[in-house]
């Protein structure tokens, strides 16, 4: 099963996504951490997310790039936190990301979904601020929008978390 969870900063999407994994009943839980730690703010965010996961049975795998090459155990539950960081890391990679990042990230999500019994992908809603960005940032945002649409199309369930309240946009449970 593939689930996409979207929402703005501080919306509660991470907590909701973790709850989906924990309530799945699957005992092998993997947290794919995509954030590259560059500064004090990213260090605080990582510490906050680790504290949120404490005692919930997650094994953390650092995966800032290269999801398409990552081996995952069959039948596990995976929380990918988050697509926005992974897409940015791939897009802005020094070895040349750009538009090729779309294929690499989508291939990684497909591969993870094929191995895991449950894959919950967290993404950010970054498109409502009305700000005009420089061309490179606008291109990254377009890449993320394309990834969000592609993954939502393949997902069994899609949620948006607003003010801590999950809103169901798509639900295809069998």
Say if residues 160 and 169 touch (Cβ distance below 8 Å).
Answer: yes
Round to whole Å and give the CA distance between 70 and 52.
Answer: 24
Give the pLDDT confidence of 56-77 residue by residue, as tens digits: 899 999 999 999 999 999 999 9
Domains along the chain with CATH numbers: 2-171 (3.40.50.300)
In eight-state DSSP terms, residue 68 is G
**3-20 tens-digit pLDDT:** 999 999 889 999 999 999
> pLDDT per residue over 22-51, tens digit each?
999 999 999 999 988 888 887 888 888 788
pLDDT at residue 140 in the model: 92
What CA–CA distance (Å, rounded) separates 67 from 138?
Answer: 23
pLDDT at 173: 65
Q: Check: CB of residue 80 under 8 Å from CB of residue 120.
A: yes
Q: How far apart are the first and last CA of the chain?
A: 10
Q: Angle at the Cα of 65 (from 62 to 66), degrees rounded to 5? A: 100
pLDDT at position 95, please? 77
* Dist. CA 161–CA 165, nearest whole Å: 5
Q: Alpha carbon of 36 to those of 42, 73, 158, 162: distances in Å? A: 8, 24, 26, 26
> 115-148 pLDDT, tens per residue?
999 999 999 988 777 788 899 999 999 999 999 9
30 has which bridge partners?
Answer: 59, 78
Query: In the prediction, which pLDDT does 174 show?
Result: 52
Residue 14 CA to its chain's centroid (Å): 9
Q: Is the pLDDT of residue 87 over 70?
A: yes
Is 63:33 a contact under the CB 8 Å cutoff?
yes
- Neighbour count for residue 148 (Cβ, 10 Å): 22
pLDDT over 90, % of the chain:
72
What the block records as the tokens of 107 is 């291939």
Q: What is the mean pLDDT of residues 76-84?
A: 96
CB distance 49 to 154 below 8 Å: no
């Amino acid at each position: 099963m593939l689930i996409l969870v979207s929402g703005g900063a501080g919306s509660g999407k991470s907590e909701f996504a973790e709850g989906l994994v924990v309530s799945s009943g699957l005992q092998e839980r993997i947290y794919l951490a995509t954030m590259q730690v560059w500064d004090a703010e990213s260090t605080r965010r990582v510490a906050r997310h680790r504290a949120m996961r404490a005692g919930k049975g997650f094994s953390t795998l650092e995966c800032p790039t290269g999801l398409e090459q990552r081996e995952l155990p069959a039948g596990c539950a995976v929380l990918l936190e988050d697509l926005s960081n992974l897409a940015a890391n791939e897009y802005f990679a020094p070895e040349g990301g750009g538009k090729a990042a779309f294929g690499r990230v989508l291939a990684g999500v497909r591969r993870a979904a094929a191995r895991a019994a449950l894959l919950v992908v967290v993404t950010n809603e970054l498109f409502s601020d009305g700000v005009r960005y420089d061309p490179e940032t606008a291109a990254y945002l377009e890449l993320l929008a394309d990834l969000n649409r592609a993954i939502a199309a393949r997902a069994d369930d899609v949620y948006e978390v607003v003010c801590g309240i999950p809103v169901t946009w798509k639900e295809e449970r069998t």
